[in-house]
């Protein structure tokens, strides 16, 4: 059975890492190694990781010689991993049991260069599920990525190791959207990123840090767009409308000032009404939600707009 290397950056993850590793241990594809890259935590992450590694010889534990999640992922993938495929997982997310088997079909037995599946979002406990992401039926393109990242989270990305090495890993000078920038380089270089019609990830959402998050996200996206421009692509009105819809949904989910969500909706509709509203199951609730957000209970607002 071909080996898949799982790279897990871990920073202050003592509370969530055991559950993450349980979901990896439960994979139906058993030919894996897990590389936990401890990233200078201030809690008991190192001790927790040591206990986990002692109980399963497939788990490797290393310290990140640099700092930050991109550095940690690059170190694990480029310096430690031995597998034919690299799958990334954050230390607070969970995997569906069949994720690695699905990835193996696409990347080991199939012809794709990188792959992702659907993400389901939860708050608190995995039983408290909200919305789920969608997987595009058409090939992922750079213009698509300039509007919205269908991979959603690093826990949903798997790639052939030679491809990751050829692209040089993630940019460690970016705080947010370093995955988007890398995906633009991937697709722009002609590699195939395949969306798989199966559930792969349970993503743990957090309502904290919206203001700084949005600023950092926009700075990161600006860097990703610079990469796209260098490859000959420029964002159009459609891409900007889709991106503004994403920001509006995020603002609604994370309890921003309702006026902020409404401003984002108005800006998106000015860019392109069709691109903002369609598909209707995403665009229309976002527009209506921004209008009625002040009267919606907080939990309902978060549930409706969790993606």
Which domain, by its residues, includes 292? Answer: 236-304
Say whether both 110 and 241 belong to one domain: no
Q: Name every residue whose Cβ is closer than 8 Å to that of residue 223 and which is 6 or more positions away in sequence.
A: 171, 174, 177, 181
Closest CA to 148 of 91, 195, 110: 195
Q: Are 196 and 114 in contact (CB under 8 A)?
A: no
Does a structural domain hold residue 180?
Answer: yes
Say whether both 163 and 91 belong to one domain: yes
- 193-204 and 94-95 strand pairing: antiparallel
Does a structural domain hold residue 210?
Answer: no
Q: How many domains does the chain have?
A: 2
Closest CA to 194 of 159, 239, 224, 238: 159
Say whether both 39 and 154 belong to one domain: yes
According to DSSP, the residues that pair with 37 across neighbouring strands are 9, 62
Model-level pTM? 0.91
Say whether both 39 and 172 belong to one domain: yes
Q: What pLDDT, on the 0 to 100 scale, is given for residue 161?
A: 98
Distance CA 150, CA 51 (A): 35
Say whether both 277 and 153 belong to one domain: no
% the chain with pLDDT above 70? 94
Q: What pLDDT, on the 0 to 100 scale, is given for residue 211?
A: 47
Say whether both 103 and 241 belong to one domain: no
Say whether both 196 and 242 belong to one domain: no
Distance CA 291, CA 245 (A): 14
Does a structural domain hold residue 222?
Answer: no
Q: What pLDDT, on the 0 to 100 scale, is given for residue 207?
A: 58
Does a structural domain hold residue 226?
Answer: no
Say whether both 81 and 32 belong to one domain: yes
Q: Classify the phi-psi angles of 256: left when phi > 0, otherwise alpha if psi is within -120 to 50, otherwise beta.
A: beta
Q: What pLDDT, on the 0 to 100 scale, is given for residue 297?
A: 76
What are the angstrom distances between the C-alpha of 31 and each of 9, 56, 97, 231? 20, 13, 13, 37
Per the listing, tokens 């209970």 go with 297
Q: Report residue 124 as tokens.
A: 């608190």
Question: HSE-up of 24 (CA within 13 Å, CB side)?
Answer: 30
According to DSSP, the residues that pair with 116 across neighbouring strands are 195
Q: What pLDDT, on the 0 to 100 scale, is given for residue 131?
A: 76
Length of the chain: 307
3-class DSSP string for the chain: CCCEEEEEEECCCCCCHHHHHHHHHCCCCCCEEEEEEECCCCCCHHHHHHHHHHCCCCEEEEECCCCCHHHHHHHHHHHHCCCCEEEECCCCCEECCCHHHHHHHHHCCCCCCEEEEEEEEECCCCCCEEEECCCCCCCCCHHHHHHCCCCCCHHHCEEEHHHHHHHCCCCCCCCCCHHHHHHHHHHHCCCCEEEEEEEEEEEECCCCCHHHHHHHHHHHHHHHHHHHHHCCCCCCHHHHHHHHHHHHHHHHHCCCCHHHHHHHHHHHHHHCHHHHHCCHHHHHHHHHHHHHHHHCCHHHHHHHCCC
Say whether both 80 and 134 belong to one domain: yes
| Ranges of the chain whose pLDDT falls below 70 | 130, 207-213, 254-255, 301-307
Distance CA 290, CA 264 (A): 9
Closest CA to 282 of 241, 234, 236: 241
Q: Report residue 53 as tokens.
A: 């590694």
Q: Report residue 198 as tokens.
A: 């199966």
């Amino acid at each position: 059975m071909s080996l898949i290397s799982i790279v897990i950056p871990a920073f202050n993850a003592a509370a969530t890492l055991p559950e993450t590793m349980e979901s990896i241990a439960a994979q139906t594809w058993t030919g894996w190694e897990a590389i936990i890259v401890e990233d200078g935590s201030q809690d008991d992450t190192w001790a927790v990781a040591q206990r986990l590694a002692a109980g399963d010889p497939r788990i490797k534990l290393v310290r990140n010689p640099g700092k930050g999640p991109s550095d940690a992922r690059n170190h694990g993938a480029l310096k430690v991993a031995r597998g034919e495929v690299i799958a990334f997982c954050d230390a607070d997310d969970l995997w569906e049991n069949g994720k690695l088997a699905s990835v193996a079909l696409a990347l080991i037995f199939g012809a794709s260069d990188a792959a992702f599946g659907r993400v389901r979002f939860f708050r608190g406990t995995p039983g408290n599920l909200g919305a789920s992401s969608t997987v595009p039926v058409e090939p992922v393109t750079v213009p698509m990525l300039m509007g919205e990242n269908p991979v959603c989270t690093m826990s949903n990305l798997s790639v052939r190791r030679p491809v990751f090495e050829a692209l040089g890993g993630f940019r460690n000078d970016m705080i947010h959207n370093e995955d988007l920038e890398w995906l633009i380089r991937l697709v722009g270089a002609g590699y195939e990123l395949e969306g798989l019609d199966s559930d792969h990830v349970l993503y743990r959402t957090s309502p904290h840090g919206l203001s700084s998050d949005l600023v950092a996200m926009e700075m990161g996206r600006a860097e990703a767009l610079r990469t796209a421009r260098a490859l000959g692509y420029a964002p159009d009105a459609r891409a900007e409308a889709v991106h503004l819809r994403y920001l509006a949904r995020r603002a609604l989910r994370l309890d921003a000032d309702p006026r902020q969500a409404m401003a984002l909706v108005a800006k998106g509709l000015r860019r392109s009404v069709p691109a903002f509203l369609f598909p209707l199951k995403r665009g229309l609730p976002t527009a209506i939600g921004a209008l009625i957000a002040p009267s919606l209970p907080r939990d309902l607002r978060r549930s409706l707009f969790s993606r």
